[in-house]
Amino acid sequence: MTTAARILPVSALILFSVSQATAQTATSHIVSAANSFLATLDGKQRQAVLFAFDDEQQRKRWSNLPTGIVARAGLSIKDMSDTQRNAAMALVASALSARGFEKVQQIMEGDEVNRINEANGGGRGRGRGPGGRGGGGLLFGKDLYYISILGTPSEKNPWLLQFGGHHLALNITIEGERGILTPTLTGAQPALYTENGKVVRPLAGESDKAMALLNALDESQRKQAILGFRLADLVLGPGQDGKTIQPEGLKASGMNDKQRAILLDTISEWANIVHESAAASRMAELKGDINETWFAWSGPTTVAPGSNITAYYRIQGPHLVIEYAPQTLGGDPALHVHTMYRDPTNDYGRKAAAK
């Protein structure tokens, strides 16, 4: 069964629920999906899923690492029945755009590739569970993703939906009609695989559009954009909440309209993960900031056809930090990527919480 085939039942469920209430706003639809999911759970499972909105520990309990290495809280897909699993994925899908949900599915499917490879005896690291070395616990697989809800699903009061596991951490704050997707980590390993003969690159847009932007710059602009030092990993990854680093590289005020359009298109790969109406207002905000937005690049300036870039890049503006960081980790950096998406002024919807 392909990723698309697995998405269909979930999509059908969403379309059905949407058709039942055509007047529903995006938020009421998400709240409805959240309540439907919660209704499938028993008391113990509900307890595992629900947290207080201001639970700082749970907010920060996300990572790029596999769940067997960094434990997550909430309820994992593997501990759900088929009905619960469909309801959980319908909830995630309701908060995301179609492409955003597809990206999430592809990241999870990439981890399934790791699981299969591990099961077949490949991989450098043997499966180790949290219990210790050689415990045989699972490190990889699409079932090892966790869902949690901070606060009470509401159309008015802010609440937070978390979904994540290896190479994925979605933190979606719902505040009225707003959907705030920061901080969110996406990643992929393998960042290129085939499924039923079709090549899948979960982060293709992130790679290709940034490459297009670099290629659209003239020599003088490239000199500003390309940093003369190596960046081995994310600077503002997990555990670095609330920090804003000094921007570097080429400021978009020094770009022409076409270059700025490519920059915005690159940003949209993250901003458009969230559902369409929230993405539209976020993109409007980021477009307004565009002349104060910086683009910096470190590493190789070419890419093999059909592959991912092996360079680090960062896009930073007053309300935005995006990092794309290929990982060497003993392998091909084109096949292992970490990315980070933040709003230093509003991670976890803190503006709403402050109100």
> What are the residues binding another protein (CB under 8 A)?
1-2, 63-66, 69-70, 109, 112-114, 116-118, 122-125, 128, 132-133, 139-140, 166-167, 189-197, 199, 228-233, 235, 239-240, 243-246, 248, 327-332, 335-336
Q: How many CB atoms lie within 10 A of CB 55?
A: 16
Cβ proximity to another protein, 180 vs 334, nearer residue: 334
Give the shortest CB-219-to-another protein separation in angstroms.
21
Q: 138-162 as b/e, with b when 16 or more CB fall inside 10 Å? A: bbbbbbbbbbbbbbebebeebbbbb
Give the shortest CB-300-to-another protein separation in angstroms.
14
Give the shortest CB-329-to-another protein separation in angstroms.
4
Alpha-carbon span 163 to 146, nearest angstrom: 6
Cβ proximity to another protein, 168 vs 213, nearer residue: 168
Radius of gyration of the chain (CA): 20
Spatial CA neighbour of 154 closest among 177, 184, 180, 182: 177
Cβ proximity to another protein, 43 vs 228, nearer residue: 228
Q: How is residue 194 annotated by DSSP?
A: E
Give the shortest CB-6-to-another protein separation in angstroms.
8
Strands 75-76 and 320-326: unpaired
Residue 84: partners with Cβ closer than 8 Å, 6 or more residues away: 37, 40, 41, 45
Q: How is residue 309 annotated by DSSP?
A: -
Cβ proximity to another protein, 63 vs 186, nearer residue: 63
Give the shortest CB-60-to-another protein separation in angstroms.
13
Give the shortest CB-196-to-another protein separation in angstroms.
5
Cβ proximity to another protein, 27 vs 207, nearer residue: 207
Chain-centre distance for alpha carbon 320? 15
Residue with tokens 């393998």: 190
Cβ proximity to another protein, 243 vs 258, nearer residue: 243
